[in-house]
A = this chain, B = another copy of it.
C-alpha cells in the first residue's frame, strides 16, 4: 500500500485510489463540524455565485469573503460556529476557495474522496484504510497556489496514524509531511505560524486557530457521494469498521 502526500493541487495530478483532502484552516475542519452538528449533506461550491444559486432551495448558505460571512449568507466559514449551527437534517452549501479546488481536482480521478482535518484525523485515516486497495493519497489545499505549513503538518499527522495502523511505503511527500509532524510536538505551533492563521488574525478570527488544532475530536468524515451541477456533494461516511 502506497502512502502519498501532495503539498499542492497541481492541475496535472492524477489519483489512483483514495484521497484525503486537507484544508485544515478552515474548510475541511468546518465541514466535519457541520456533519457533527447533524447536517445531512454538504455541497462544496467553488464560488459565492454558485452557492447563491442554491438560495431558493431549502439550504443553509455558508461561506467567506476575506474570512468573513458574505452578504446574504446564513453563516461564515468558522468551525466553532458550524458546530453550534442549527443545521440538523439540512443541506449546507459551503463556498470555499482552496479546499474546493483541491476536492474538485481529487474528484476528477480518485475512487474515493474524503475531507480530513486534525479534528477528524483519526476517523478519516481509518476510513481511508478501510476503502483503499493500493494507495492513500493526502492532498493539501495550500493557499492560492502556495504551500501551507498548516495543511502539510496535518498531512503528517494523518500519515503517522496511517503508518501506525498499516505497513505502507511513504514516498517523498509523505516523508516530508512526517518530518514536519515530528518536528512540532504541539499542533498549535505550526498552525499558528501558517499564513492561513495570520490571515484569520487580520480579521479577528484567531480563535478559530486553536479550534482547528484539536486532534481527533470527531468521527465525522465527509465522503464524496455525488454532484449537483458543479457542486460536490459530501455526506457522512459510514463508521469505519
User: Is residue A173 contacting chain B, with contact meaning CB distance below 8 A?
Assistant: yes
Please indicate which of the listed interface residues A7, A143, A149, A172 has the most CB atoms of chain B within 10 Å of its own CB.
A172
A1-36 with Cβ < 8 A to chain B: 5-8, 10-13
24 residue pairs from A and B, CB less than 8 Å apart: A6-B146, A6-B147, A7-B7, A7-B8, A7-B147, A8-B147, A10-B145, A11-B11, A12-B144, A13-B146, A143-B172, A146-B172, A147-B176, A148-B172, A150-B172, A152-B176, A171-B195, A172-B193, A172-B195, A176-B176, A176-B180, A179-B183, A180-B180, A183-B183
A172 and B145 in contact (CB under 8 A), knowing A8-B10, A10-B8?
no
Q: How far is the CA of A190 from the CA of B172 in the complex (A)?
A: 9
The reply to whether the CB of A182 lies closer than 8 angstroms to some CB of chain B is yes
- Chain B nearest CB from A170 CB (Å) reads 9
In the complex, chain B residues whose CB is within 8 Å of the CB of A172: 143, 146-150, 193-195
Counting CB contacts under 8 A, is A175 at the interface?
A: yes
Type the 1/0 row for A148-183, where 1 means its CB is closer than 8 Å to any CB of B.
Answer: 111010000000000000000001110110011011
A171 interface neighbour in B5, B12, B146, B179, Cβ under 8 Å = B146
Minimum C-beta distance from A13 to chain B (A) = 6
Complex interface: chain B residues within 8 A of A195 (CB): 171-172
A180 contacts across to B, CB distance below 8 A: 176, 179-180
Task: Write the nearest CB–CB distance from A112 to chain B, whole angstroms.
Answer: 20
